[in-house]
C-alpha cells in the first residue's frame, strides 16, 4: 500500500523554491519571502499553555526581519501572543509543530497529554488579509478544549478582557489577531500558510499593435504569466521580455500580450512556482462596434475552490488541479505522437488513436518503423492480430503517464 503524502513535505515542496526568489535593484534587493508572522491564543493547562487557535504566515517583506514576540493579552486562564521571525525559520517552526510545540520559548504547546493533531494536505485559499489574492495553506486540527474553556469560563474571560484590556471580549481578541472566532467551536486549530505575491489590478486594450496590457503588482519579483485564449482554449506562455521593468520594486509592471486571432476572452494566470497566485478572465471587448485604443477592459477574478477533504484521493486530485500540467516527455516519436493526439482529442479508443496518427501525420512518415511510408501504417498494425498488441502497449503506457499527472483520458 502506498504511503500517504506528508502534509508538511507537500507544503515545503511548493514553498521552498519561492523562498529562493529574489531580485536586485540599484538601491536594495528584494526577497519574495522575507518574514514569518505568528499569532496564537492559548489556554492554561497545568504548567503549560495549550493552543486554542493559531496561525503562521510567510509574507513578502523587504526589510530585515528579526525575532520578536509579545504577549498582547494575559489572564489566569488564557494568553495571546503575536510576533514574527525570519522566513528561513519556517523549517524550525515545522519541526516544533511536528513535536507538538507552537512557541517553545513561551511554553506554548500545540496539544497536551499526548493527543494527536490531524494535518490536512495543503491547498490554495483566498487570502484573508488585504494585499494579495491567494495563500497556500496547511490546516491542522486537534482535541476539543471545551473542558478547559467552559461557558462560565468564557463569560469570565469576556468580562476580564473588556475590563483590563482594549479587546471586546474573547471574539474581539480573535479578531485582533485575525484568527477565527472560536466561541462556538473550541477544537484546537493551527494554520500554516504562505502569501503568493502577484496581483492583477487593471487591463486595457491597445488596438495600435493588436494587444492588451495587464497591470500587475508583484513585490518586485516578476511572476510567470500564462494566457488561455477563449473560446479556443489555446494555452500560451508569455515571455519575460513582454513584462516591463523599472528600477524600483514598488512600481507596478505592465505585461503586454498580443491578442490571438478570433479570441474573445483571455484567462490570465500569474504563477508563483507551480501555484496560481492570481487568475483573471479578461473580456477583450472586440465584439463592440467601435472599440477604442487604451480602452479599460473588464475582468472577472477566479476564486480558489476549497477542496472536499472526505478522502485522501480527493485531496491529491485538488493539488494536481491547482498546479500546471507536467506533461510526460518522450524520446520516442511514436509516444510523442500518441500524447499529442490524446491531448487534442481527449478520451479515445486505440483504433481512433491509430487512425488519428495516420490522418494527422503526427508521426513522421520517414520514421524507421514506417520505411515504406504506408499512409495507413498504424491502422494496418491495429488490424493485424499479430502486431496489434505492440501498438496497444504503447498507447496504454502514454495513457497511464497522463493519468498520473491528472489528465483524464
Average pLDDT, the chain: 81
pTM higher than 0.75, yes or no?
A: no
Cis before 83? omega within 30 = no
- Examine the pLDDT at 315 and tell me if it is beyond 50: no
In the three-class reduction of DSSP (H, G, I as helix; E, B as strand; rest coil), residue 211 is classed as: strand
In this prediction, residue 312 carries a pLDDT of: 30
Give the mean model confidence (pLDDT) for residues 28-43: 86
Give the pLDDT confidence score for residue 263 in this predicted structure: 87
CA separation for the pair 315, 120 (Å, rounded): 8
- The answer on pLDDT for 78 being more than 70 is yes
Q: What pLDDT, in 10s, does the model give residues 102-132? A: 998 888 998 876 667 889 889 999 988 778 9
Q: Which residue has the higher pLDDT, 372 or 196?
A: 196
**E strands within 110-186?**
118-119, 123-126, 134-144
User: Can you give the pLDDT at residue 347?
Assistant: 78
Query: Which domains are assigned to the chain?
Result: 7-194 (no CATH), 199-308+316-321 (2.60.40), 333-404 (no CATH)
Instruction: List, for residues 379-402, the tens digit of each pLDDT value.
Output: 888 888 888 998 999 999 999 888
Give per-residue pLDDT as tens, 143-165: 888 777 777 888 888 888 888 88
pLDDT reported for residue 324: 43
pLDDT for position 317: 37
Q: What is the DSSP string of 325-378?
A: ------S-HHHHHHHHHHHHH-S--HHHHHHHHHHTT-S-TTSGGGTT--TTHH
Q: What's the pLDDT score for residue 113?
A: 67
What grid cell was written down for 301? 477574478
C-alpha cell at 117: 493533531
| Confidence (pLDDT) at 183 | 63
* Tens-place pLDDT, residues 330-374: 778 788 788 877 776 677 889 888 887 876 555 654 455 555 666
List the one residue out of 336, 319, 327 whose CA is nearest residue 401: 327
Which CA distances in Å does 297 have to 7, 254, 278, 301, 348?
40, 14, 17, 13, 39
Amino acid at each position: 500500500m502506498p504511503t500517504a503524502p506528508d502534509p508538511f513535505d507537500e507544503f515545503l515542496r511548493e514553498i521552498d523554491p519561492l523562498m529562493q526568489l529574489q531580485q536586485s535593484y540599484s538601491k536594495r534587493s528584494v526577497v519574495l519571502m522575507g518574514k514569518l508572522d505568528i499569532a496564537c491564543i492559548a489556554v492554561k493547562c497545568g504548567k503549560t499553555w495549550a493552543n486554542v487557535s493559531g496561525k503562521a504566515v510567510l509574507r513578502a517583506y523587504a526589510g530585515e526581519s528579526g525575532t520578536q514576540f509579545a504577549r498582547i493579552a494575559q489572564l489566569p486562564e488564557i494568553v495571546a501572543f503575536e510576533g514574527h521571525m525570519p522566513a528561513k525559520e519556517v523549517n524550525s517552526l515545522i519541526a516544533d509543530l511536528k513535536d507538538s510545540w507552537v512557541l517553545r520559548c513561551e511554553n506554548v504547546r500545540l496539544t497536551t497529554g499526548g493527543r494527536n493533531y490531524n494535518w490536512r494536505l495543503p491547498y490554495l485559499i483566498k487570502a484573508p488579509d488585504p494585499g494579495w489574492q491567494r495563500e497556500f495553506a496547511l490546516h491542522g486540527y486537534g482535541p476539543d478544549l471545551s473542558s478547559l474553556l467552559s461557558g462560565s469560563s468564557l463569560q469570565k474571560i469576556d468580562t476580564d478582557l473588556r475590563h483590563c484590556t482594549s479587546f471586546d471580549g474573547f471574539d474581539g481578541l480573535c479578531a485582533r489577531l485575525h484568527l477565527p472566532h472560536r466561541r462556538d467551536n473550541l477544537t484546537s486549530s493551527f494554520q500554516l500558510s504562505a502569501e503568493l505575491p502577484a496581483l492583477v489590478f487593471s487591463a486595457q486594450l491597445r488596438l495600435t499593435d493588436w494587444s492588451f496590457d495587464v497591470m500587475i503588482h508583484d513585490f518586485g519579483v516578476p511572476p510567470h504569466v500564462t494566457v488561455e485564449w477563449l473560446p479556443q482554449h489555446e494555452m500560451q506562455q508569455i515571455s519575460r521580455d513582454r513584462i516591463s521593468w523599472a528600477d524600483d520594486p514598488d512600481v507596478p509592471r505592465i505585461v503586454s500580450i498580443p491578442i490571438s486571432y478570433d479570441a474573445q476572452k483571455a484567462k490570465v494566470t500569474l504563477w508563483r512556482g507551480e501555484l496560481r497566485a492570481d487568475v483573471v478572465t479578461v473580456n477583450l471587448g472586440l465584439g463592440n462596434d467601435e472599440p477604442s485604443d487604451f480602452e479599460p477592459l473588464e475582468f472577472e477574478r477566479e476564486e480558489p475552490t476549497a477542496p472536499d477533504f472526505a478522502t485522501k484521493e480527493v485531496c491529491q486530485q485538488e493539488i494536481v488541479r491547482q498546479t500546471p500540467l507536467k506533461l510526460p516527455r518522450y524520446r520516442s516519436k511514436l509516444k510523442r505522437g500518441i500524447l499529442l493526439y490524446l491531448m487534442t482529442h481527449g478520451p479515445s479508443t486505440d483504433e481512433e488513436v491509430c487512425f488519428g496518427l495516420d490522418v494527422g501525420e503526427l508521426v513522421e512518415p520517414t520514421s524507421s518503423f514506417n520505411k515504406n511510408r504506408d499512409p495507413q501504417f498504424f491502422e494496418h498494425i491495429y488490424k493485424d492480430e499479430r502486431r496489434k498488441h505492440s501498438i496497444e502497449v504503447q498507447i496504454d503506457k502514454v495513457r497511464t503517464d497522463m493519468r498520473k499527472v491528472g489528465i483524464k483520458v
